[in-house]
Amino acid sequence: MATLPTDLWRLSAAQTAALVQSRQVSATEVARAALARVEAVNPALNAIVKCRPEEVLAQAAALDAALARGEAPGPLAGVPVTTKVNVDQAGHATTNGVRLQKDWIARDDAPVVRGLRAAGALLLGRTNTPAFSYRWFTSNLLHGATRNPRNAALTPGGSSGGAASGVAAGLGALAHGTDIAGSVRYPASACGVHGLRPGFGRIANFNGTAPKDRTIGGQLMAASGPLARHVHDLRLGLHAMAAPDPRDPWQVPAPLTGPELPRRAAVCLRPDGLDTAPEICAALLKAADQLRDAGWVVDEVDQLPPLQQAVPVQIALWMGDGYEAQAATAAREGDPGAIAALAGQRDYARAISLPEYSDALVQRLALARAWHLYLAERCAAVLLPVSGELPFEDQLDLKDAASYQRVWRAQMPQIALPVTGLPALALTTGLLPGNVPVGVQIVAGKFREDVCLAVGEAIEARCAPLPIAEPAAA
């Protein structure tokens, strides 16, 4: 075998699973290589905030024993996968980056974690998030700050900043993340990996540690999804995470692959007048050409269904429901980032009463309908920016009020799309000078994550692969 056990952490999820399934490599060898990489690199990143080597090795030993008995190992056999600290994993704290939750120990796995285990994944460690998962930057008073492994001056993104930082640096082949306003897509983009936000109803959500169920905004717009260095690995992660679970009545058992569609896409550089950076426009135009080379018809358009109108709807449903309670909890925690994130929307959120909240739900339906019709009648996929700007300098949102507003303006496509319920893929396409990642966002129709992934694979195949990040020592 050409690959030595010490290099196993470099492999894709698909490569790792194939080696373990064929018993060319043991799951224990994979686990030891992954743990050695965590020990060597994580101190410089603080991407993984809890790793229990004995648990990882025990999972690997159990998988090796099952293989020896001739049992089917699962499609993610032996693949090291990280989970975010805002999702339940049995025996671990669901901290969500908050000191107030450090003793919320899960008795059972959340649906996504249960699905990953059933697929044979090795749960490598728990990844960092900003307090309450509110920001596009990753730091908190409980676990500390996470660094971007490609450029420490840049944000690793948020809220799945630990997930993206870790997978970019080879801390696992796959990572679990969550996204209500870009929290999978932006960290993936900022760290130079790929991240899929599945559509509404695709992946079951439930945390038994929570004292009560999510508010309606969280129920309708929050989603778990995979991050990886390879698009094919996202497909493997999606299939595992989408396992049926009756604890979430919103989950829909829709097929993971839909019928063939005309290979037609649209690319929009400046949706709703977004002030898109020239480097991002260039990346979008190049991706469109690469998709044409793959046999697609790609139309450059100036107008898409509304996005800017969806931003106040998103804020109303996310922050407007119980705003005062959220603000009080953030104040008790004392986290500057969480306090600033809520304070920036204070005036709007406090103005939302029951009629305004009801109207936001009505507007959500109209916005979602416009996007669903566009993708049913005009094209199979849309290419647009992940953000209007290249990855921000770290902690920019805390600099001053103007910087906070600048961040929110640039993130408009990420904030808006969850209102539609459609799947979206952040695809990294290259590195600019200074190790600054750049990429595109791909949106497809209802339950058509397979279209997002197919478009992503076509573009990825025509891009130079990004190397695994090697961060400077802490």
| Confidence (pLDDT) at 291 | 98
The Cα diameter of the chain in Å comes to 65
pLDDT at 273 over 90: yes
pTM, two decimal places: 0.97
Question: CA 151, CA 472: separation in Å to the nearest integer?
Answer: 9
Tokens representing 26? 């043991």
Please provide the average confidence, as pLDDT, over all residues in the chain: 97
| Confidence (pLDDT) at 3 | 44
Render 78-118 in DSSP notation, one character per residue. Answer: T-EEEEETTS--TTSB--TT-GGGTT-B-SS--HHHHHHHH
Cβ atoms of 17 and 75 within 8 Å: the answer is yes
Q: At the topology level of CATH, where does 5-460 sit?
A: Amidase signature (AS) enzymes (3.90.1300)
Given 26, 84, 165, 387, the catalytic residue: 84
Tokens representing 267? 């690319």
Question: CA 307, CA 413: separation in Å to the nearest integer?
Answer: 7
pLDDT at 463 over 50: yes
The β-bridge relationship of strands 122-127 and 80-84 is: parallel
Tokens representing 84? 């975010």
Q: Is the dihedral of CA 65, 67, 71, 76 positive or negative?
A: positive
Question: CA 335, CA 88: separation in Å to the nearest integer?
Answer: 22
Is 133 one of the catalytic residues?
no
Is 84 one of the catalytic residues?
yes
Q: What type of residue sits at position 21?
A: Q
CA distances from 91 to 55, 104, 111 (A): 10, 10, 15
CA distances from 469 to 122, 243, 334 (A): 22, 31, 33
CA distances from 290 to 265, 266, 462 (A): 12, 13, 6
Question: CA 360, CA 7: separation in Å to the nearest integer?
Answer: 51
Q: Name the nearest CA neighbour of 226 among 177, 275, 193, 265.
A: 177
What is the per-residue pLDDT across 245-269, written as a single tens digit (0 to 9) for each? 999 999 999 999 999 999 999 999 9
What is the per-residue pLDDT across 302-326, written as a single tens digit (0 to 9) for each? 999 999 999 999 999 998 888 999 9
Given 26, 139, 183, 224, the catalytic residue: 183
What is the per-residue pLDDT across 360-394, written as a single tens digit (0 to 9) for each? 999 999 999 999 999 999 999 999 999 999 999 99
| Confidence (pLDDT) at 170 | 98
What number is the average pLDDT over the span 120-135? 98
| Confidence (pLDDT) at 472 | 79
Domain ranges of the chain: 5-460
Is 159 one of the catalytic residues?
yes
What is the per-residue pLDDT across 191-232, written as a single tens digit (0 to 9) for each? 999 999 999 999 999 999 999 999 999 999 999 999 999 999
Given 26, 133, 159, 160, the catalytic residue: 159
| Confidence (pLDDT) at 474 | 56
Cβ atoms of 148 and 165 within 8 Å: the answer is yes
Cβ atoms of 80 and 19 within 8 Å: the answer is no
CA-based end-to-end distance of the chain: 34
| Confidence (pLDDT) at 294 | 98
Helices 231-241, 111-118: inter-axial angle, 10-degree rounding: 110
What is the per-residue pLDDT across 60-79, written as a single tens digit (0 to 9) for each? 999 999 999 999 999 999 99
Model confidence band, residue 1 (pLDDT cutoffs 50, 70, 90): very low
| Confidence (pLDDT) at 331 | 97
Question: CA 81, CA 224: separation in Å to the nearest integer?
Answer: 14
Tokens representing 51? 């790793």
Cβ atoms of 196 and 453 within 8 Å: the answer is yes
What number is the average pLDDT over the span 109-120? 98
226: DSSP letter: E
What number is the average pLDDT over the span 233-244? 98
pLDDT at 48 over 50: yes
- Bridge-partner residues for 237, per DSSP? none
Neighbours of 373 (CB within 10 A): 12
| Confidence (pLDDT) at 473 | 67
Cβ atoms of 133 and 178 within 8 Å: the answer is yes
Question: CA 32, CA 415: separation in Å to the nearest integer?
Answer: 39
Place of tokens 């760290």: 191
